[in-house]
Each structure stands twice: as C-alpha cells, then as structure tokens.
Amino acid sequence: MWGLLRQKVGAGSSSALSMQRIRPVVSALRNYSSAAKEMTVREALNSALDEEMSADPKVFLMGEEVGEYQGAYKISKGLLDKYGPERVLDTPITEAGFTGIGVGAAYYGLKPVIEFMTFNFSMQAIDHIINSAAKSNYMSAGQISVPIVFRGPNGAAAGVGAQHSQCYAAWYASCPGLKVLAPYSSEDSRGLLKAAIRDPDPVVFLENELLYGESFSVSAEALDSSFCLPIGKAKIEREGKDVTITAFSKMVGYALKAAEILEKEGISAEVINLRSIRPLDRSTINASVRKTNRLVTVEEGFPQHGVGAEICASVVEDSFGYLDAPVERITGADVPMPYAANLERMAVPQVEDIVRAAKRACYRAVPVAATA
C-alpha cells in the first residue's frame, strides 16, 4: 500500500485511466453466452474483488487474515499470490487501527476494501466509519471523497452468542453519508460489490456467513467483468398480487420459501429483495404495496428502529390509502442473541413466522391479539 501511496495515484495513473477508457469498449464488443453458471456466494465475492483489483491499481484489501490465511472465510483466496503484500495486507487484531489507515488512504485517492471478520467487530472502528468516512465529504463541501468499502459477515451465524450475532443494517443505514448494501444471491454479491468498490462514497457491505457456501445460478451477463448492479435499486424476486414481502440478505431465501407455501394455500406473494438498505428503493416498495394492498417486512435485526420500521413509515406516508390491512413486521427477538440452539432459533425469524404474518395480513388467520 505504501508503494501505491508513493506513486501519487490520488491524481490517477495513466495506465488506470487508459484501462477505464478501454473497459467499456471491450465490454461492448463481447458477445454473451446464453448459458448460466452455478456459483457460490464465496466465489462471487472473490471474483468481484479479483476483477476490480485487476482493473484498478488503486484498489487494495486490508484486514485480519486476508493474506496468508486467504481470508477467515476464504473470500480473498488467491489474491495475495496474485497481487502481493502491498495490495493484500494482513493486519494485527486492531479494527480501530486498520480502519483508520484505510480511511486515510481513501482521503488520498486510493480505494481500500476493509474486511471485518464479523461486523460486530466494526464497533471497535465505528468512530472512523461514522465521524471520518461518512461525514468528510459533507464537512469539506464536497472537496474530499472517501471511496472506501467496509465489508464482512453481518447478523446471526450459528451458536456464536450475543456479541457475534447482531445485524447492523439499521445501525449504519441511519447515518447520512454512508451507503449500505446487503446482497442475497451470488449475482447480488458480484454486482453490488463491484458497484461498492467503484462508488466515490463510503459503502458498508453486509454479507452473511451462512450464505457463503450457498450456490446460485448466475447469468452470463453477470459473469462479465464489466457487470455492475445499481446501488439503491431493489429486485422483485417473485411477482404476486395478494401481499408484498420485503427482505434482505438471508431473509430473502426465507421469504421465497414462505411464498411457495402461501401459493399452495391460494395466496400470491410478491417478494422484494431490497439489496440496498441506504438508499432504500421506496418507489419499488410502494408500487408493489399499491398493487397488493398488504405488506410484510422481514429482517433479522431488532424490532425497534429497524429497517422494517422505516419501510412501514414510508408506506404509511406514501401509500396509506392503498393498505387493506395493518403492516406486519417480522424481526429478530428484542433480546441479545441466546447461545442455546433452541433459544437461538426462537430469536431469529423463521419461514413459518413469515407465513403466519402473510396470512394475518390476508385475513386468513386469527389475529395475534385475539389469541393473547
């Protein structure tokens, strides 16, 4: 990294600029194959990092065990051998230290990708993320850009206790100056990570440990090195007409399973993969609610001041007259995550919780208040 700083790449190298000019032309000439490919989320993230580091010499990766160990979750596998220790930097266990170094490098014009072994550990570095990265562009009247990505696993894994299981989507999405992304599939992971690295502003990139080994079909277009998904745009994973279900990260899979169960009972559910938590795609959510007239929000985080609460507020403000039932919010329990497996399952949303909520919204079940 210090070698990159000495090259004064803040002003932009001619080779990097040439490459940026060439890439769209190469992309336009390439013919896509119609065949899709199966790819794990881990492979998708690894390939996105590899391609962006190859395309832009200002991009570098820094964090604990990202180099010699090839990443705690093997996301950075092979990158040290390919790009060397100046661009794949192993750090001590000091999130406050290496995050601050990353923010400083971004001030200078480099594009750091900071890996947290879990986003729970980002609390050690939250001053750098919030007070330095998020606010500097505004406080400098636009003179300072901070092109940095903070990435790593977020939310509950399995049996790791209260201090390693929190969802930080609502935490970081409440802060102006940050963009917050939460991919679900391999295509999400490739396209959104590329978008995050190319973005001129700080991006919090929330992955999920339990999704790393999951395989998804990836289109030929998404396999192209120029592929990039827009930040701030949700994806309708499944169309429906009776109830809208919003979710992000691992909960998208749960919502899709719930929709399959609901279909067997005559309820057509529309499932929206938020992808972007900040900015939030309010127009897609409201358009769906105006069609289905019902809304269920799903997230792993705590209920108070959560992502679902913000979505509910948006719908009430913009589409209240279209609602035929109260909004249903499915969240994690309002307690620190239990360690015991049976209690842990009760503390995070399950597919059956989503099914019950959708039925309540469609008046196919006895309301919760009536059974209390």
Mean pLDDT of 243-266: 98
Q: Are 97 and 46 in contact (CB under 8 A)?
A: no
- pLDDT recorded at residue 36: 78
- pLDDT recorded at residue 333: 96
Tell me the CATH number for domain 235-371: 3.40.50.920
Mean pLDDT of 345-370: 87
3-state secondary structure of 4: helix
CA angle 35, 36, 41 (to 5 degrees): 160
Confidence of residue 3 (pLDDT cuts 50, 70, 90): low
Measured from the Cβ of residue 181, the count of other Cβ atoms closer than 10 Å reads 30
Measured from the Cβ of residue 277, the count of other Cβ atoms closer than 10 Å reads 26
164, 214, 221, 263: which one is catalytic? Answer: 164
Sign of CA dihedral 354, 360, 362, 366: positive
Q: Are 183 and 195 in contact (CB under 8 A)?
A: no
Spatial distance between the Cα atoms of 130 and 128, rounded to a whole number of angstroms: 6
Single-letter amino acid code for the residue at 131: N
Q: Do domains 2-218 and 235-371 have the same CATH topology?
A: yes
Indicate if the pLDDT at residue 15 is higher than 70.
Answer: no
In this predicted model, which residue has the larger pLDDT, 62 or 27? 62
164 is catalytic: yes
Report the half-sphere exposure of 84 (CA within 13 A, side-chain side): 7
- pLDDT recorded at residue 33: 45
Q: Are 129 and 204 in contact (CB under 8 A)?
A: yes
R_g over Cα of the chain: 21
In this predicted model, which residue has the larger pLDDT, 218 or 9? 218
Q: Are 181 and 152 in contact (CB under 8 A)?
A: no
Q: Which CATH number fits domain 2-218: 1.10.15.40, 2.70.70.10, 3.40.50.300, 3.40.50.970?
A: 3.40.50.970
Task: Please write the tens of the pLDDT for every residue from 315-333.
Answer: 999 999 999 999 999 999 9
Q: Where are the domains of the chain?
A: 2-218, 235-371
Mean pLDDT of 57-75: 96
Q: Are 213 and 42 in contact (CB under 8 A)?
A: yes
Q: Are 287 and 322 in contact (CB under 8 A)?
A: no
- pLDDT recorded at residue 235: 98
Torsion of CA 346, 348, 351, 357, to 10 degrees: 90
Sign of CA dihedral 366, 368, 369, 372: positive
Q: Are 281 and 232 in contact (CB under 8 A)?
A: yes
Mean pLDDT of 108-120: 97
- pLDDT recorded at residue 158: 87
**Using the 8-state DSSP alphabet, how is residue 210 labeled?**
G
Average pLDDT across the chain, whole number? 91
- pLDDT recorded at residue 20: 42
239 is catalytic: no
Q: Are 329 and 313 in contact (CB under 8 A)?
A: no
Indicate if the pLDDT at residue 340 is higher than 60.
Answer: yes
52, 95, 207, 300: which one is catalytic? Answer: 95
Confidence of residue 26 (pLDDT cuts 50, 70, 90): very low
Indicate if the pLDDT at residue 35 is higher than 90.
Answer: no
Mean pLDDT of 278-298: 98
For 183, phi then psi, to 5°, come to: -75, 155
Question: Residue 216 forms beta bridges with which residues?
Answer: 39
- pLDDT recorded at residue 368: 55
Task: Please write the tens of the pLDDT for every residue from 176-227.
Answer: 999 999 999 999 999 999 999 999 999 999 999 999 999 999 999 999 999 9
Indicate if the pLDDT at residue 245 is higher than 80.
Answer: yes
Confidence of residue 21 (pLDDT cuts 50, 70, 90): very low
- pLDDT recorded at residue 364: 82
Report the half-sphere exposure of 75 (CA within 13 A, side-chain side): 31
